[in-house]
Structure 1
Amino acid sequence: MKNILAIATLSAAALLQGCASTPAPATITDTAARTPQLSTLNKLIAEAGLADTLRQSGPYTVFAPSDDAFKAVPAKTLAELAANKELLKSVLTYHVLPGKVGSAEMKNGNAKTVQGANLALARAGGFVTVEDAMVTQADVPASNGVVHVIDRVLMPPKK
Structure 2
Amino acid sequence: MTQPPDPVAPADDTARALARSLLAEARHAALAVIEPGTGAPFVSRIALAPAPGGVPVSLISGLAVHCRALRENPACALLLGEPGDRGDPLTHPRLSLRARAEFVAPDAPGRADLRAHYLAARPKATLYADFADFSFVLFHPVSAVLNGGFARAYALHPADLLA
Asked whether the two chains share a fold, i.e. TM above 0.5, the reply is no
What TM-score does the superposition give when structure 2 sets the normalisation length?
A: 0.25
More strand by share: 2
Structure label with greater radius of gyration: 1
More helix by share: 1
What TM-score does the superposition give when structure 1 sets the normalisation length?
A: 0.26
